[in-house]
């Protein structure tokens, strides 16, 4: 018995050590994927049109001949991480690679390409704030994020002075809006049926609003964002869509509905209440009781899986590090709504519960 107890204890220690090692090294997954994208490996394999032999892959990459022997090791970790599948038969000596569903979302010409997100999150200027996290917890000034502690500017101001980061961020938001729009229009048509007008607050270049305007031609869509954001788009609108500049904390154009896609998670509870009150004013100006449509995460949604929950928790930590916002549980969302003067809400999970659509009513 003592021997077995000793073996069990040793096994538990080894498992614990493995768990810790894997956490220590988890950044290697991200950096290996970044390397593969920068070497164009994903698009090279995709363009080959069939399972690609390792030798053909190596010959197609912009690498030094002396580095060829290292490619199999890079491909091994990427295959283990689920970005490639090995298709070699038993009688084939050479590894042959094909893409997976995950890696297809990283192809350059994919309409929902997620590569810009990788460029943003692994930008050295956005990695540095994580080194401030423990110092941030020790500081009294909670109005500053770790990013602001590191760079001396809040995220939005900092990004506006970094053209590369700004471009990647806007590309990421555009790609995300395409995906969200396609899912929302397919799964949540009832949300938009019967509306006469909609304001997309913080709508950027209008990707989301364009999709709604096209699918629901009877809905007048307004893309509302800061004046310098919409300046280049005004006058280029579709017949049932226009761009308006302004400050969402000052006033929001009147409409039957206000759309907030991935906006509220950027802000503190206090700022969210201010914004939601402005939204309520906007949907009640015409004497009607409209609704606010929120697309954001609901942390711990019971319909989600463990992978979705992990995504939500990572996002929440990113909001802590980069801005003053957070991802919220249903209880936290409800508190915001009722504090802003709304009476009811409805949550509809849309992206395997990593994102939800919330309808909020006065």
- Measured between alpha carbons, how far is 296 from 357 in angstroms, rounded to an integer? 7
**Inter-axis angle of helices 41-48 and 27-38, to 10 degrees?**
60
Element (DSSP H or E) covering residue 34: helix 27-38
- Measured between alpha carbons, how far is 335 from 275 in angstroms, rounded to an integer? 14
Residue 136 and residue 149 in contact, taking contact as beta carbons nearer than 8 Å: yes
Q: Which long-range contacts (CB under 8 A, 24 or more apart) does 162-167 make?
A: 162/125, 164/123, 165/120, 165/123, 165/125, 165/126
Query: Cα angle vertex 339, ends 301, 197, to 5°?
Result: 80
| 80 catalytic residue (yes or no) | no
φ, ψ of residue 57 to 5 degrees: the values are -65, -50
Closest by Cα among 181, 243, 257 to 206: 243
- Measured between alpha carbons, how far is 243 from 306 in angstroms, rounded to an integer? 39
Q: Which residue has the tokens 């498992």?
A: 15
Q: Which pair of tokens denotes residue 84? A: 């490639």
Q: Which member of 46, 110, 151, 265 is catalytic?
A: 265
Q: Which pair of tokens denotes residue 274? A: 């201010």
Residue 347 and residue 289 in contact, taking contact as beta carbons nearer than 8 Å: no
- Residues assigned a catalytic role: 265
């Amino acid at each position: 018995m003592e021997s077995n107890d000793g073996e069990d204890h040793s096994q538990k220690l080894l498992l614990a050590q493995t768990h810790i090692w894997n956490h220590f090294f988890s950044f290697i997954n991200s950096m290996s994927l970044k390397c593969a994208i920068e070497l164009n490996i994903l698009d090279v394999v995709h363009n080959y049109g069939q399972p690609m032999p390792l030798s053909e892959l190596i010959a197609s990459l912009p690498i030094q001949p002396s580095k060829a022997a290292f490619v199999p090791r890079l491909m091994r970790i990427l295959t283990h991480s689920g970005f490639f599948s090995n298709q070699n038969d038993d009688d084939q000596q050479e590894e042959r690679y094909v893409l997976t569903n995950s890696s297809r979302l990283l192809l350059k010409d994919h309409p929902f390409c997620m590569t810009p997100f990788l460029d943003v999150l692994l930008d050295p200027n956005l990695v540095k704030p994580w080194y401030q996290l423990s110092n941030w917890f020790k500081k009294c000034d909670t109005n500053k994020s770790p990013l602001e502690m590191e760079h001396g500017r809040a995220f939005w101001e900092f990004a506006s002075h970094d053209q590369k980061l700004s471009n990647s961020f806007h590309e990421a938001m555009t790609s995300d809006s395409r995906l969200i729009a396609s899912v929302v229009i397919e799964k949540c048509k009832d949300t938009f049926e019967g509306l006469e007008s909609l304001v997309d607050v913080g709508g950027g270049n209008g990707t989301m609003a364009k999709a709604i305007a096209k699918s629901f031609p009877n809905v007048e869509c307004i893309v509302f964002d800061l004046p310098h954001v919409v300046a280049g788009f005004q006058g280029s609108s579709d017949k049932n869509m226009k761009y308006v500049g302004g400050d969402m904390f000052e006033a929001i154009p009147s409409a039957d509905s206000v759309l907030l896609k991935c906006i509220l998670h950027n802000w503190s509870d206090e700022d969210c209440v201010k914004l939601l009150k402005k939204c309520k004013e906007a949907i009640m100006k015409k004497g009607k009781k409209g609704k606010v449509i929120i697309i954001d995460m609901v942390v711990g949604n019971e319909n989600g899986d463990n992978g979705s929950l992990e995504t939500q928790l990572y996002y929440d930590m990113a909001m802590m590090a980069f801005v003053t916002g957070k991802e919220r549980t249903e209880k936290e969302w409800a508190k915001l709504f009722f504090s802003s003067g709304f009476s009811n809400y409805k949550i509809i999970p849309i992206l395997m519960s990593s994102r939800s659509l919330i309808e909020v009513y006065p």
